[in-house]
């Protein structure tokens, strides 16, 4: 009898626990997608980016205070995507990038949302050519700048991965410029393979990329697309 | 039923009776502040704890914080030096170098500040002489200035709380917003001034408490830091809300004012004539090297130079430290399983001057062609300089004595043992065996790649247990020469020099140059200081007062004293120096192509290193607890 009484009490307690929490606070997970491209306003081409320490797209969700901004990183070829956002209205603005600052705008993110940014890159790398010449890798290019600031420095960057850039490189061949450039001037950068023998393995494939940095606070590099070469 | 009713009655009686005071009982194992402060001995006890909490970056300061010397403080000995260009860890490049959590100090900072505020508030009420009150106020201000200095270095502008807060039921009232970075540095210097005004020049019993000179030294250091932040902000500007509200960032126009504060505080110490460099005129470089080593082995023998000591009197958990077990070379570990963790880099060794070429860094030349640019490793076609097996360290013989007093060079003697640092050998056919454990018999003799058959007999390049240097250099600054290492945690009792005269001279010289200060003969004073520091290291040729010379001198003289990290931060050089940066080694190889075998040295990248990059947002650390304290976060966190 005692045990039955105890058993009933226990059962009541457990049951009341389960039944009272029947209504689960099950919200949908973040399943909205935001994607887009950085498009050069003049040439209609994608603006090349760095995948780390590059342009970040800042989004601030509405309806919360305080709210921490979220950041979406750019892909090297000039796109961005985040497939795990909560559907809501956001204020969006790319930050600390390699193009003239664009104004923030409001966007409703829901389902699959696309937003392209038409931008003016600080620098365009033109007539880029990277080739193996004897023992060296030679890069030649011209620069067209779209802001009056000095071009800070230029570089040729090497890495075994296609995401090569100034932040991700095995070897860098850089030159300080610190001046406004003439769009007709041809720049040459080279990497000597034998004198970098401990880092570049002869016969292997590497990715090479030409970059230029404008002298604007917190600006990022502008690039030509990376090129794969065997050395 | 009757029993139940009786029980119920007695229980309720008891409850009603003792109901009233149960929450007001005083704890029997604590003292309230009135009781503690009413007794002068109680005040001293409290003050001792405040000094313990003071963020002095000493032997127990590692990437995971202060006072890391309790229990089994196993952090691989990753001191700040390992995260700069001074050294690399034998196993780690610095874990997650400069991870935002590294060297953090927020909660502990405000705990110390509250404790100091309690003392400062209590002092006027104490039953002691006016003079004693003055001294206590001075010490409280010194510790408070030190605490806010540690916070400002890490976080920029912070909430300035100058009296203990009381909780009256309203949490919002406790939230104090951040002051601007300028207000914070001004407060730090102001508090240092209060300390300077109230502290005595010394304590009769020789107690290690803050003196007027320690307060001047703190001001010299803090003012130089603030001035540099103002002058060099533009080398790595940041943006965001914290910048807009001036919570981080000092305007360039503030620089000269702070440089002047540094100059004046430094000159107060210099003009007092109370301090001098220890053993300022050595007879030879060998003597100078030994003097320099002794200064750090026992600062109590060098009280003419030392301004403030933090003592480690007893071995044991909470009271000793671990430099001797972490950093002795493998051969002198005396059974301790994790020695050899601090590996000075080739970059640092290159920086030291040569006596025959004063006024410039003197990179180690290992080839007959005199070139140093190639770090690709051993090349059989190169003509290397050769050195006898008896003294491979002849390569360094012309280098500054402080190199010899800081670093264990291959083949030198330490604790009566010849320290064998060897990376491999070159076989007679010209092929090399480097960083692999092998042996070969040649002309009747057996040779081993690491210089000896068993791992207990050498101290370099073998990956065995992470005990060997991978830069080719051992470490000896601060270590005890004479006794055997006690192979157990927290046994070192070497005292730490918190402030010394050489630093003041270097602060002064840098401030004079950076602010173009020409009044009252400051430049000639600074030039004399620069050269007196060098003369203490047995240099005989004076060099001119230039920024390069002063900065090189600072890097060498203060190496491993936990200064370099902050020098790179305040001058905004960290992100320039560390952009996919690798560290370098000097690998001694036994060349068997000649008879008798001789040593050659190869300059190359450190093995198993990681390219390191310092992102600009790391110039400020993230403020913890933003969700509850409601503060504005630092940029890009």
Tell me whether residues A198 and B377 touch, CB distance under 8 A: yes
Mean pLDDT of B453-477: 97
Task: Please give the domain boundaries of chain A with CATH numbers for all domains.
Answer: 32-119 (2.60.40.1120), 123-230 (2.60.40.2060)
Query: Which pLDDT score is estimated for B99?
Result: 65
**Of the given ranges (B509-518, B587-596, B608-617), which has the lowest mean pLDDT?**
B608-617
Q: Which residues, at least 6 apart from A228, have a Cβ–Cβ distance to it below 8 Å?
A: A162, A205, A206, A207, A208
Confirm or reject contact between B609 and chain A (CB < 8 A). no
Percent of chain B residues past pLDDT 70, beyond the cut: 97
Name the minimum distance, in Å, from the CA of B237 to any CA of chain A.
6
User: What average pLDDT score do residues B109-129 get?
Assistant: 94
Tell which wins on pLDDT, B1 or B301. Answer: B301
Q: For the segment B78-116, what is each residue's pLDDT rounded down to a tens digit?
A: 999 999 999 999 998 754 556 667 899 999 999 999 999
Interface check A73 vs B, CB under 8 A? no
CA distance A191 to A194: 9
Token pair of A11 as six digits: 């059962």
Range from B70-84, B281-295, B490-504 carrying the lowest mean pLDDT: B70-84
Tokens 């207990």 sit at which residue? B456
In the prediction, which pLDDT does A8 show? 78
CB contact under 8 A, A195 and B374: yes
Using a CB-CB cut-off of 8 Å, the residues of chain A touching B616 are: 218
Q: How would DSSP label each residue in B333-387?
A: -TT-SS---EEE-HHHHHHSPBTTBTTS--PPP-BTT------B---TTS-B--B
Give contacts of B 349-378 with A, CB under 8 A.
Answer: 374-377
CA distance B142 to A115: 56
Mean pLDDT of B65-84: 92
State ipTM.
0.86
Q: Does residue A162 register a pLDDT over 70?
A: yes
Q: Do B605 and A198 touch (CB under 8 A)?
A: yes
Whether residue A198 and residue B613 make contact (CB cut-off 8 A), yes or no, is no
Nearest C-alpha in A relative to B374: A195
Mean pLDDT of chain A: 93
Give per-residue pLDDT as tens, A15-36. 666 665 566 778 889 999 999 9
Among the listed residues B245, B235, B241, the one whose alpha carbon sits nearest the alpha carbon of residue B636: B241
Beta-carbon separation of B239 and A96 below 8 A:
yes
Segment B485-507 shows an average pLDDT of: 97
pLDDT band, very low/low/confident/very high, at B627 (cuts 50, 70, 90):
confident
Summarize pLDDT for B22-42 with one digit per residue, the tens. 777 778 888 877 788 888 889
Rounded average pLDDT over B419-443? 97
pLDDT of residue B94: 59
pLDDT at B40: 81
Q: Which residues of B touch A167 (CB under 8 A)?
A: 580, 613
pLDDT value, residue B95? 47
Q: Å from B185 to nearest chain A CA?
A: 25
Flag if B376 and A96 touch (Cβ within 8 Å).
Answer: no
Give DSSP secondary structure letters for B4-66: HHHHHHHHHHHHHHHTTTGGGPPPSS---HHHHHHSHHHHHHHHHHHHHHS---STT-BTTBS
How far does the CA of residue B627 sit from the closest CA of chain A (Å)?
8
Q: What is the pLDDT of residue B9?
A: 78
How do the domains of chain B map onto residue ranges? 323-494+581-613
**By C-alpha distance, which of A78, A217, A206, A88 is closest to A139?**
A206
Statement: residue B334 has pLDDT above 70: yes
């Amino acid at each position: 009898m005692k045990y039955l009484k105890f058993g009933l009490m226990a059962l009541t307690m457990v049951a009341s626990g389960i039944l009272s929490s029947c209504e689960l606070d099950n919200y949908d997970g973040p399943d909205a997608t935001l994607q887009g491209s950085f498009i050069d306003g003049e040439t209609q081409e994608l603006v090349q980016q760095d995948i780390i320490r590059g342009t970040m797209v800042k989004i601030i969700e509405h309806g919360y205070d305080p709210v921490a901004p979220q950041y979406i990183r750019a892909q090297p070829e000039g796109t961005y995507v985040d497939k795990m956002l909560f559907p809501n209205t956001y204020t969006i603005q790319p930050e600390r990038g390699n193009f003239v600052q664009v104004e923030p705008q409001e966007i409703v993110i829901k389902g699959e949302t696309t937003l392209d940014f038409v931008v003016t890159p600080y620098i365009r790398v033109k007539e880029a050519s990277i080739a193996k010449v004897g023992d060296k890798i030679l890069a030649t290019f011209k620069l067209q700048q779209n802001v009056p600031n000095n071009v800070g420095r230029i570089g040729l960057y090497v890495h075994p991965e296609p995401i090569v850039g100034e932040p991700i490189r095995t070897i860098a061949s850089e030159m300080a410029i610190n001046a406004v450039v003439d769009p007709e001037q041809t720049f040459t950068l080279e990497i000597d393979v034998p004198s970098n023998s401990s880092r570049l393995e002869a016969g292997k494939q590497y990715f090479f990329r030409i970059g230029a940095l404008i002298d604007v606070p917190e600006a990022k590099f502008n690039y030509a697309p990376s090129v794969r070469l065997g050395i | 039923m009757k029993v139940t009713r009786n029980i119920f009655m007695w229980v309720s009686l008891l409850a009603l009776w003792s109901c009233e005071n149960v929450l007001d009982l005083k704890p029997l194992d604590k003292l309230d502040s009135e009781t503690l402060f009413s007794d002068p001995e109680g005040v001293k006890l409290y003050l001792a704890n405040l000094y313990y909490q003071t963020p002095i970056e000493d032997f127990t300061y590692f990437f995971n914080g202060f006072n890391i010397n309790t229990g089994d403080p196993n952090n691989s000995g990753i001191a700040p030096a390992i995260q700069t260009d001074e050294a690399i860890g034998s196993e780690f490049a610095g874990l997650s170098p400069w991870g935002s959590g590294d060297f953090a100090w927020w909660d502990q900072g405000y705990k110390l500040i509250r404790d100091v505020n309690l003392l400062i508030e209590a002092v006027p009420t104490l039953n002691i002489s006016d003079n004693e009150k003055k001294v206590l106020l001075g010490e409280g201000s010194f510790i408070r200035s030190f605490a806010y200095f540690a916070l400002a270095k890490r976080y920029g502008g912070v909430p300035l709380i100058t009296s203990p807060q009381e909780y009256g039921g309203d949490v919002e009232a406790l939230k104090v917003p951040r002051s601007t970075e300028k207000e914070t540095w001004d407060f730090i210097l102001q508090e240092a001034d209060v300390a300077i005004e109230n502290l005595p020049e010394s304590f009769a019993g020789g107690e290690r408490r803050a003196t007027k000179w320690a307060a001047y030294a703190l001001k010299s250091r803090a003012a130089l830091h603030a001035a540099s932040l103002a002058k060099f902000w533009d080398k790595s500007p940041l943006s965001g809300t914290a910048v807009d509200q001036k919570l981080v960032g000092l305007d360039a126009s503030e620089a000269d004012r702070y440089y002047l504060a540094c100059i004046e505080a430094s000159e107060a110490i210099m003009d007092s004539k109370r301090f001098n460099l220890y053993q300022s005129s050595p007879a030879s470089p060998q003597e100078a090297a030994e003097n320099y080593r002794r200064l750090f082995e026992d600062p109590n023998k060098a009280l003419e130079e030392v301004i403030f000591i933090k003592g480690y009197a007893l071995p044991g958990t909470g009271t000793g430290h671990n430099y001797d077990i972490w950093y002795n070379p493998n051969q002198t570990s005396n059974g301790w399983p994790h020695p050899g963790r601090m590996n000075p880099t080739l970059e640092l060794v290159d920086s030291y001057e040569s006596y025959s070429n004063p006024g410039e860094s003197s990179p180690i030349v290992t080839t007959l062609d005199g070139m140093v640019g190639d770090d690709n490793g051993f090349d059989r076609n190169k003509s290397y300089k050769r050195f006898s097996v008896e003294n491979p360290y002849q390569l360094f013989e012309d280098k500054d004595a402080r190199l010899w007093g800081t670093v264990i060079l291959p083949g030198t003697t330490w604790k009566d043992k010849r320290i064998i640092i060897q990376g491999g050998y070159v076989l007679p056919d010209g092929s090399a065996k480097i960083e692999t454990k092998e042996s070969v018999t040649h002309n009747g003799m057996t040779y081993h790649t690491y210089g000896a058959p068993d791992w207990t007999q050498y101290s370099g390049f073998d990956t065995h247990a992470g005990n060997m240097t991978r830069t080719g250099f051992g470490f000896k600054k601060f270590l005890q020469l004479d006794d055997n290492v006690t192979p157990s945690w927290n046994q070192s009792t070497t005292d730490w020099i918190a402030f010394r005269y050489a630093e003041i001279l270097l602060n002064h010289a840098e401030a004079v140059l950076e602010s173009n200060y020409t009044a009252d003969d400051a430049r000639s004073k600074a030039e004399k200081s620069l050269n007196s520091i060098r003369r203490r290291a047995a240099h005989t040729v004076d060099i001119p007062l230039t920024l390069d010379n002063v900065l090189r001198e600072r890097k060498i003289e203060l190496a491993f004293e936990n200064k370099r990290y902050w020098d790179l931060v305040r001058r905004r050089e960290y992100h320039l120096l560390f952009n996919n940066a690798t560290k370098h080694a000097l690998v001694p190889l036994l060349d068997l192509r000649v008879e008798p075998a001789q040593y050659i040295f190869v300059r190359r990248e450190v093995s198993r290193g990681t390219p390191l990059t310092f992102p600009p947002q790391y110039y400020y650390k993230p403020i913890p607890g933003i969700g509850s304290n409601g503060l504005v976060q630092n940029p890009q966190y």
